[in-house]
């Protein structure tokens, strides 16, 4: 069975500092991995994905994530946080080798960027 | 290109009432999904569809029904509403294996 863990409910970071939001996953096959962001009273917006190839993927708004197969992790990063990055972030996984499986979302991490 | 649209945005139901949440996408995506998001929680999959005429249950299907007669539309039906169905409901669509596009959500309260 697929699962996603986001070990931190909340991450606080000062504006201008680098940020990391952690995600680990479990799938029986190879993963497709995704990050989404949710602003208050809005739907989820796609940030970036790992399908295959380069382990470092770049996405919207200056975010990037690194796929680490040995650690089964896909942490979201940004070199310099903005107050406007404050939101709820979800990691999601899908098993590439099991076509019938759907996306599984993590519980979310609330990011607060302090001015 | 409107993406994924959902109606209504808000609804209050009395216990035992029924309603249909509408979802439409204009991206010609095969896959469509219904999720619920409870306060402070992640998303739970209710139902999904891989194409017109094909639907399947997700993690929490009890108390809900869906149909998919066209590629564009994927309505979610709540029968005999219960307080446990108070939640925010999101519809999403995608091509197989690729990222999902989400609607703005429907906030439902059952009292």
Q: What is the pLDDT of residue B101?
A: 93
- Report the pLDDT value the prediction gives residue B73, as an integer from 0 to 100: 97
Helix segments in A1-115, DSSP class H: none
* pLDDT of amino acid B77: 97
With an 8 Å Cβ cutoff, is B30 touching chain A?
Answer: no
pLDDT of residue B97: 64
Checking if the pLDDT of A103 tops 90, the result is: no
Residue of A nearest to B32 (CA): A102
Q: What is the pLDDT of residues B27-73, one digit of tens each?
A: 999 999 999 998 877 899 999 998 999 999 988 999 999 999 999 99
pLDDT higher than 60, residue A100: no
Q: Between the CA of residue A70 and those of A30, A52, A73, A74, what are the distances in Å? A: 12, 15, 8, 11
A97 in contact with B, Cβ within 8 Å: no
Distance, CA of B53 to CA of B88 (rounded, Å): 26
**pLDDT (tens digit per residue) in A18-54:** 999 999 999 888 889 999 999 988 889 999 999 888 9
A108 touches chain B (CB under 8 A): yes
Exposure string for B51-76, b = 16+ CB within 10 A, e = fewer: ebeebeebebbeebebbbeebbebbb
């Amino acid at each position: 069975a697929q699962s996603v863990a986001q070990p931190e409910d909340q991450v606080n970071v000062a504006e201008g500092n680098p940020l990391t939001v952690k995600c680990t996953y479990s799938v029986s096959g190879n993963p497709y991995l995704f990050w989404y962001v949710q602003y208050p009273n809005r739907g989820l917006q796609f940030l970036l994905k790992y399908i295959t190839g380069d382990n470092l993927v770049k996405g919207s708004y200056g975010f990037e994530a690194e796929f680490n197969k040995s650690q089964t992790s896909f942490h979201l990063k940004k070199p310099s946080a903005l107050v406007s990055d404050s939101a709820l972030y979800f990691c999601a996984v899908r098993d590439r080798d099991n076509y019938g499986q759907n996306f599984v979302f993590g519980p979310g991490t609330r990011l607060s960027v302090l001015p | 290109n409107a993406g994924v649209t959902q109606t209504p945005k808000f609804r209050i139901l009395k216990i035992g009432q029924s309603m249909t949440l509408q979802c439409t996408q204009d991206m010609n995506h095969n896959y469509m999904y219904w999720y619920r998001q409870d306060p402070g929680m992640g998303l739970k999959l209710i139902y999904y569809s891989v194409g017109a005429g094909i639907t399947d249950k997700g993690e929490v299907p009890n108390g809900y029904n869906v149909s998919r007669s066209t590629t564009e539309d994927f309505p979610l039906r709540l029968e005999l509403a219960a307080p446990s169905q108070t939640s925010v409901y999101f519809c999403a669509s995608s091509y197989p294996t690729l990222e999902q596009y989400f609607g703005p959500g429907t906030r439902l309260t059952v009292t």
